[in-house]
Amino acid sequence: MKDLKRYKILKKIGEGGTSEVYAAFDKRTGKKVTVKVLKESGKGFFKERASMENEALMLKSLKHSGVQKLIDYGEGFMVLQYISGCSISEKLRVNGVFSEKETVEIAIELIRILKYLHGLKEPVIYRDLKPANIIIGRDGKVYLIDFGAARIYRKGEKSDTSYLGTVGFAAPEQYGTLGQTSPKTDIYCFGMTLLQMTTGIDIKNEAALENFKLNGATGLSEEFAKIINKCIKPGRDDRFRSCSEIEKALLDSIVKRKRGIVIRYMKRSLVAATLSAMVSMAIMYAEPVKNYVESDARERVPAFKGRLYNAKERIAEFIDKEFFQEGK
């Protein structure tokens, strides 16, 4: 039976209801790893151990750069790829909401991971997509971690064997009675994740959620709000049909946003060009106008002075004649 002697535990980096997560050092490879260990107390230990083994076997079969890789596993523990980075939930807590541009870039990488999972011969339904399970690595890549709630999708099954997920992010069908979860379940969780990333609203607040559906959100384009709204439709048939369809919608939204930026730039450029032309014309004609005014003044002022002098002489002559020559 495998044990943890190969790994030197460095520090605890996380904890859940049934397990603890540590950063550790692999003595064999000299690399840093992540070790997930089940807590050994509680009535559900044997059930949780079986669940962890299923998770390990699933991860062993997955080959995608955006999925945290399995390195080793044994009774009650898993050793995983160490990802240096920060979860989206932590980024939200520290930096606040993401811009639409940032969110779309992350969303495209994320939807491609889900597309890979759904496109497998035995499709994997992740079921617990949320900001806490998405890591933005220091390399800028997007990683999906914690496959504890994931399951294999099999056509014909009427329901899930267990109902797992996170309240607020989970789709209506994850609460039972609506049939087994499917790729469209992950699409719902994906939409709720984007909603929290861009608005920061409490997604368990029905009033806030309804307000977004009706009015959108400040800072979000109408096009992007429509993508989120279609993902989070309560009825599965009203959501996007596949991750490929969402990917196309996201890429189209980038094109439309860039087109809008270009149009706004062109409008501003046109106004600037018009003003520039007017200023240039003013500068171009300023000197000739100035010269004309000066020339006209040189011609007109002497003549005006002459007319004033003549008028003065006539007035003086009139006064002398009328008032001083009568008595002579």
> From the CB of residue 213, how many other CB atoms can be counted at a distance below 10 Å?
14
Catalytic hit among 26, 128, 186, 237: 128
Using a 10 angstrom Cβ sphere, with 0-12 exposed, 13-18 middle and 19 or more buried, the burial of residue 274 is exposed
What angle is formed at CA 67 by the lines to CA 184 and CA 39, rounded to 5 degrees? 95
Structure tokens that stand for 293 in this block = 């005014």
Cβ pair 253, 223 in contact under 8 A = yes
What are the backbone dihedrals phi and psi of residue 275, each rounded to the nearest 5 degrees, phi first?
-60, -40
Cβ pair 97, 200 in contact under 8 A = yes
Which of these, 168, 173, 132, 177, lies nearest to 151 by C-alpha position? 173
* Residue 139 annotated among the catalytic residues of the structure: no
Measured between alpha carbons, how far is residue 103 from residues 94, 110, 286, 298 in Å?
16, 10, 53, 71
**What is the C-alpha separation between 14 and 165, in angstroms, rounded?**
19
Structure tokens that stand for 190 in this block = 């994906």
Element (H, E) at 281: helix 243-319
Positions marked catalytic? 128
